[in-house]
């Protein structure tokens, strides 16, 4: 039944799917996965392979993606660990816009008490759950939700991880305030900012926006057509979920925004050559800050 399903999804998928068969053999019998993928997955969890970018190691050298980056080797995991004094023992973590779950899994396996990954897109959440099942990582939970709703429902976390998400919201000041309310320790923020001189990434001219009383300068970025259907948005796996435009503040304005949100200390993380090499993102106008709650 498995090979029959595979043959229907193309040669590339067969090759990758066959690799996954080996990875799964002896761990999860193909006929009885540990959870039911949604009915949208015609071939069950085979439809979830390969992942788009989180290249998560599975058993026997297999991985969830052919290309992409291994989150377990990503420098942002090091930055979280350093920000936490080298240990996550007993700490709770939330991973905002967790995509395919690689960072959540890496932090869970670094000893966190519990990790919650929040992700709006169903197929990505299913990939997260598949990866957790295949790695046998128990202390991680993946929630299909909009961050803006879900954070408010949760008790504060010791660690808030925001990689590649702040530049996907139209009101980053509000998201930072939500993050501050949800944080009782440290927040790691990895994001694009607007360039001062000329626009990058197809951003707009410089604009000034008033967000909750603060005035910030930056650029707008179009995420999707405002009249996009839910299905169209669901297919844009790396994009904003609920904002047709996002606002990228200038770096100085971002720092002020983090302070305005109520974080008491804000520290920029500088990258040496080794770290740059392991920072597997588009590095143009990309910055990383560690913000802390001290009271
Ligand atoms: C650029 S990807 C970054 C993924 C991941 N954090 C990483 O660094 O590899 C942005 C992710 O955030 C998710 N996302 C965007 N807006 C969201 C929202 N409002 N609520 C929940 N997830 C959202 C997207 O579906 C996507 O998976």
Domain boundaries, the chain: 2-49, 71-292
Which of 117, 120, 224 should be mutated for ligand 1, with most atoms under 8 A from CB?
120
Under the banding of pLDDT at 50, 70 and 90, the label for residue 278 is confident
Pocket test for ligand 1, best of 70, 77, 99 (most atoms within 8 A of CB): 99
CA 4 / ligand 1 centre spacing (Å): 33
The pLDDT assigned to 3 comes to 29
Here the tokens at position 122 are 């169903």
Mean pLDDT over each residue of the chain, to the nearest integer: 88
Helical (H) or strand (E) element with 52:
none
Residues with CB under 6 A from ligand 1: 97-99, 118-121, 124, 146-148, 163-165, 168, 238, 240-242
Domain 71-292 has CATH 3.40.50.150: yes
Rounded to 10 degrees, the C-alpha dihedral 267/272/277/281 comes to: 30
Candidates 219, 176, 225; CA nearest to 195 is 219
Under 8 Å between Cβ of 232 and 224? yes
Whether 143 has a pLDDT exceeding 90, the answer reads: yes
pLDDT digits (tens, 9 = 90+) for 10-19: 334 444 445 5
Give per-residue pLDDT as tens, 44-75.
777 888 899 999 998 777 888 888 999 999 99
CB 59 within 8 A of CB 131: no
């Amino acid at each position: 039944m498995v090979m029959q399903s595979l043959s229907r999804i193309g040669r590339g998928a067969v090759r990758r799917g066959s690799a996954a068969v080996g990875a799964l053999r002896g761990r999860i019998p193909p006929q009885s996965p540990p959870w039911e993928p949604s009915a949208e997955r015609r071939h069950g969890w085979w439809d979830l392979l390969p992942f788009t970018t989180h290249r998560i190691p599975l058993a026997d050298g297999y991985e969830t993606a052919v290309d992409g980056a291994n989150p377990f080797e990503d420098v942002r995991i090091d930055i979280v660990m350093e920000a936490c004094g080298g240990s996550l023992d007993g700490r709770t973590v939330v991973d905002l816009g967790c995509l395919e779950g690689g960072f959540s899994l890496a932090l869970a396996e670094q000893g966190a008490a519990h990790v919650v990954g929040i992700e709006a897109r169903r197929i990505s959440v299913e990939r997260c759950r598949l990866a957790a099942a295949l790695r046998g990582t128990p202390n991680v939970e993946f929630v299909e939700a909009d961050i803006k709703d879900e954070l408010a429902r949760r008790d504060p976390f010791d660690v808030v991880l925001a990689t590649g998400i702040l530049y996907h919201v139209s009101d980053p000041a509000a998201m930072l305030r939500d993050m501050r309310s949800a944080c009782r320790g440290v927040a790691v923020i990895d994001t694009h900012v607007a360039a001062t001189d000329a626009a990058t990434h197809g951003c707009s001219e410089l604009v000034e926006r008033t967000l909750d009383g603060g005035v910030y300068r930056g650029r707008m970025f179009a995420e999707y057509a405002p009249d996009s259907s839910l299905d169209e948005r669901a297919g844009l796996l790396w994009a904003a979920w609920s904002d047709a435009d996002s606002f990228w503040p200038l770096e100085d304005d971002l720092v002020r925004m983090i302070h305005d949100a109520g974080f008491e200390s804000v520290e920029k993380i500088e990258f040496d050559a080794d770290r740059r090499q392991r920072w597997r993102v588009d590095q143009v106008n990309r910055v990383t800050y560690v913000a802390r709650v001290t009271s």
